Structure 1
Amino acid sequence: MDTLQHVFKGTFVHSTPSCPMEVLKEHIIGIGKMGRIMFLEDAQEQTRLAQKWGFDESDVKELSKSEFFMPGMVDTHIHAPQYSFIGSAMDKPLLEWLEHTTFPTEETYADLEVAENVYRAVVRRTLKNGTTTACYFATIHTDASIVLADIANHYGQRAFIGKVCMDSNKTYPKYLESCEESIEETERFVDIMEKKKYDRVKPVITPRFAISCSERLLNELGLLADKHQLHIQSHISESTAEIDEVLRIFPTYDSYTEVYDKNKLLTNKTVMAHGCYLTDEELNIFRSKGAAISHCPNSNISLYSGHLDVQNVLKHQVKLGLGTDAAGGYSVSMLDAIRKAIETSKIIFMEKQKENRENKKMYIDYKRETVQNGIKPGPIKKMENGTDYQVLSNQEAFRLATLGGCQALNIDHITGNFEVNKEFDALLINMAAEDSAFELFSDIAIEDAVQRFLYLGDDRNIKEVYVAGRCVVPFTNNA
């Protein structure tokens, strides 16, 4: 039997498949030395649990009234090399931004010293901001991608690392690799990663996006993912210009989704970033394949690409997580992703309200005109009533950033909430931290306090970060 390494008592906030935010007050949790949750019960059971599990009650770490545990946050889409220019070059749309800023910067990662400096910084920064799991794009450089994996493993972050593949586009030929080289280097990358036998850092097959990949490369990558049962990540339907270009390059395919699907790149281990313009038919394909979408609202707004209708995705029962998409998004904080997801939902709500008002006015004008002309008004098709649209709540956004991200990455059987036997990926939040980003002036309900943290908190409120029971933040002296 696993022995205990941590016992905490206090408030725990997490999500379940049936509840977007469950608040467990006065509970006690036990974490085994293997990093798994051994028990989570009412604190009144402490003495019985101490006898059963053999811990000293004096060793229980009790949280203060201003503290609570929540699951670690999951960034389902982030570009590690772009961290070097985050917060800049935000004045161009997607395809121009790639050509003028992103590709020239990523080319410098052939230099492993450049890669190590930036990758160490981004892993530390994301961990400090509560990202316990990150799904990273690296660059086309295999050895630099291994550097990122080594660093993530060193700091204890759960991570998926993608050596980027791109062999085809006349717009930026000098940043490409040949199809043969891309396949060979991806196989070498996967082989090295498997030999390293990391516990929680895994390879992910990563065609950059359909525009930058030949049909042969896409097909070979799909076969490679199937052979090794690997995760897959890419981009889809981020902007209208991107969709038009994909359909121009692949004229025999009916949709962007079909390009990936017919090349075996849509599986239950696939996460595709953005999806702003996916049709209902394409969403049905996603659901049937078990593939997921990473919602990256900051990037969608910053590169003025579009908005993802989260409620429509969820209505189609497609797995959904949140991503920062740094540096298309200007923040690596998943708290920012939560806020931007809620704001995007409100924008869509207002757009639907506007459409509804315009439709009502059109109907009134039509009715008035026909009556004045002595004609009985006939029926007119009405648009959806905007007030029927449900804005994404902070509780639902919280679930997307935690359990939802794990579902998107197909690791929700391993972590994502505080269910017994899952690995303890968690954040200890202190709402009364020194120099806190916000104040609590009086006792308020824990639900309201959590909401305040989600809207106003930052890394100053994240006191400790755990991955599989290991405290990885604060960093140790040798980290």
Structure 2
Amino acid sequence: MTLPNNEKNHLFLGTFIHSKRLDELQYLHDTAICVNTTGKIVAIEPECDQSKAEASLYPKLGWTTHDVIVTAAKEGQFFFPGFIDTHLHAPQYPNVGIFGKSTLLDWLNTYTFPMEASMASLSKARKVYTRCVRRTLAHGTTTATYFATIHVESTNLLADLCLSMGQRAFIGRVCMDQLGPDYYLDESAEQGLAATRANIAHIRSIDRDFELVSPIITPRFAPACSADMLRRLGDLAAETRLPVQTHVSENVSEIALVRELFPDSPHYTGVYEQAGLLGDRTILAHAIHLSDEEADLVARRKAKVAHCPCSNSAITSGEARVRWLLEKGIDVGLGTDMSGGYSPSVLEAARLACLVSNHLAMPNKQADGCSQSEKEKSKLSVEEVLYLATRGGAEVVGLSSKVGSFEVGMDWDAQLIGLDMVSEEAVDDYTDDGGNVEIFGWETWEDLVAKWLFNGDDRNTKKVWVRGRLVHERRS
């Protein structure tokens, strides 16, 4: 059963910034947003302060002043939708920043599989998962799409923790019956399916309608799954209509391995298509080296892509062509992909998405004979990467009608961002309590957002709400 959100209604006052469309941020200044006890936005009123809200909005909503919590943004603060992390590995959190000099497949055997296998210990899993959820919430991640491990009990624990701490989450028990070490594999495709069903049943028992926490069918990636395992999971996806997450075309050596293991498939994406795993609720992480044929297939099936620029750079897998994917009609969100990625911050993923797109546009970059003007189109703007971090991510995880922007009827998944205002009196009083973003007073709002994107961190995330429930507050 989902935990209750609030005992009181909420009034939020100040500046609200969200994506109107891919290339446009909307700035709502001097605005009031009313959120009811179920965590839904029930009114948005421009040019409204607390007194006007009490006089005009409260009577319409049947509210009285004593049952409303008021949160007003201060100078240098604004409200922004919660971030949506479309791809991360909770059990790998202790390995963040430890990717060595290895490529993908070596890295899995050296760092990843041993750490994931150790999550069989519930005490260790509790320690790791609690810290992972708290850290991502502190960075403004209100929705997280988690890969867990092959273990049913510790995967169930991750779901319990997300529910109790209030993070919206998709929890996937990892399925893998080949490629991994002997100590970390499903015994068979049949056993892997049964374990996945057990995880689904547990999540349904704690959140019947998957309002906050949902299971997600999770074949690790094609090389780690037999054809039998993939087919069984495809049948399960068709039966349950649950979302699916996996990896695709992350690394050239991985693609070669898929070709060797699945010689009857036309390409990597075709393996998932043949198994019935490619559909409108499928999230494909990375998609760096997709062919035109594969991308067209992904678009036809309305599958989604989780772009992970941090891990793709750290493990030297390659640079995903996000503009190309978007122009194909494929929805794209951002993933931190810890621990291939070194940061739990979606904001960091957004800034790196900008930089990776700039690399694709550089004059010396080989790009299949593209002209320089065509390569310039690869570059992503501040507005575009923040769309990917919020509204785009909501499309990827199938929650675009609930989260990702500020509209009446949507859930209040939001963060209060505070930037350090440099005053004349305190100009010599240096402190880092406010973070790296320093505001001098002459910046435009577009400047403020750009400075936050490229310099911000969790010190700027003052408060975080999920479905109207306060789930994180920075004390310092």
Residue 259 of structure 1 deviates from its aligned partner by 0.4
- Match for residue 51 of structure 1 among 53, 56, 59: 59
Give the match for residue 174 of structure 1.
Answer: 183
Give the match for residue 399 of structure 1.
Answer: 387
Q: Larger radius of gyration, structure 1 or 2?
A: 1
Give the match for residue 251 of structure 1.
Answer: 263
Return the letter of the residue paired with 2:10. Answer: H
> 1:391 aligns to what SS in structure 2?
coil
Return the letter of the residue paired with 2:58. Answer: A
- Match for residue 165 of structure 2 among 150, 155, 166: 155
Residue 142 of structure 1 deviates from its aligned partner by 0.6
> 1:329 aligns to what SS in structure 2?
coil
1:170-222, Cα deviation, whole Å (9 max, x unpaired): x6333211222111111111111112225301100000000000001001011
> 2:136 aligns to what SS in structure 1?
helix
2:141 paired with 1:131: yes
Correspondences of 1:293-442 after superposition (within 5 Å):
293-351=305-363, 354-355=365-366, 383=371, 385-386=373-374, 388-432=376-420, 434-442=433-441
Residue 432 of structure 1 deviates from its aligned partner by 2.4
Correspondences of 1:100-119 after superposition (within 5 Å):
100-119=110-129
1:91-116, Cα deviation, whole Å (9 max, x unpaired): 21000000111111111111111111
Contact kept? 1:34, 1:469, Cα under 8 Å:
yes
Rounded to whole Å, the distance in 1 between the matches of 2:316 and 2:378 is: 23
Rounded to whole Å, the distance in 1 between the matches of 2:416 and 2:150 is: 36
Considering only aligned residues, what root-mean-square deviation do their CA atoms show, in Å?
Answer: 2.1
Residue 17 of structure 1 deviates from its aligned partner by 3.7
2:461 paired with 1:473: no
What TM-score comes out, normalization by structure 1 length?
0.90
Contact kept? 1:274, 1:308, Cα under 8 Å:
yes
Contact kept? 1:349, 1:391, Cα under 8 Å:
yes
Change (3 A) 1:82 1:236: same
> 1:175 aligns to what SS in structure 2?
coil
Rounded to whole Å, the distance in 2 between the matches of 1:67 and 1:388 is: 34
Q: Of Structure 1 and Structure 2, which has the larger fraction of its residues in helix? A: 1
Give the match for residue 64 of structure 1.
Answer: 74
Contact kept? 2:459, 2:474, Cα under 8 Å:
no
In structure 1, runs of 5+ residues without a counterpart are 360-381
Residue 303 of structure 1 deviates from its aligned partner by 0.4
Contact kept? 2:360, 2:378, Cα under 8 Å:
no
> 2:438 aligns to what SS in structure 1?
coil
Correspondences of 1:285-296 after superposition (within 5 Å):
285-296=297-308
Contact kept? 1:415, 1:423, Cα under 8 Å:
yes
Residue 283 of structure 1 deviates from its aligned partner by 1.2
Rounded to whole Å, the distance in 2 between the matches of 1:119 and 1:36 is: 28
Contact kept? 1:324, 1:333, Cα under 8 Å:
yes
Residue 90 of structure 1 deviates from its aligned partner by 2.8
Rounded to whole Å, the distance in 2 between the matches of 1:339 and 1:30 is: 31
Rounded to whole Å, the distance in 2 between the matches of 1:60 and 1:261 is: 50
Give the match for residue 90 of structure 2.
Answer: 80
Rounded to whole Å, the distance in 2 between the matches of 1:59 and 1:15 is: 26
Q: How many residues in Structure 1 have an aligned counterpart in Structure 2?
A: 450
Change (3 A) 1:92 1:354: closer
Contact kept? 1:4, 1:55, Cα under 8 Å:
no
Contact kept? 1:350, 1:386, Cα under 8 Å:
no
What TM-score comes out, normalization by structure 2 length?
0.90
> 2:333 aligns to what SS in structure 1?
strand
Residue 25 of structure 1 deviates from its aligned partner by 1.1
Rounded to whole Å, the distance in 2 between the matches of 1:18 and 1:301 is: 24
Contact kept? 2:321, 2:378, Cα under 8 Å:
no
Give the match for residue 14 of structure 2.
Answer: 10
Rounded to whole Å, the distance in 2 between the matches of 1:406 and 1:59 is: 27
- Match for residue 201 of structure 1 among 200, 209, 213: 213
Residue 354 of structure 1 deviates from its aligned partner by 4.7
Rounded to whole Å, the distance in 1 between the matches of 2:389 and 2:59 is: 36
Give the match for residue 377 of structure 1.
Answer: none
1:403-433, Cα deviation, whole Å (9 max, x unpaired): 1001001111111110110000000001128
Rounded to whole Å, the distance in 2 between the matches of 1:164 and 1:388 is: 39
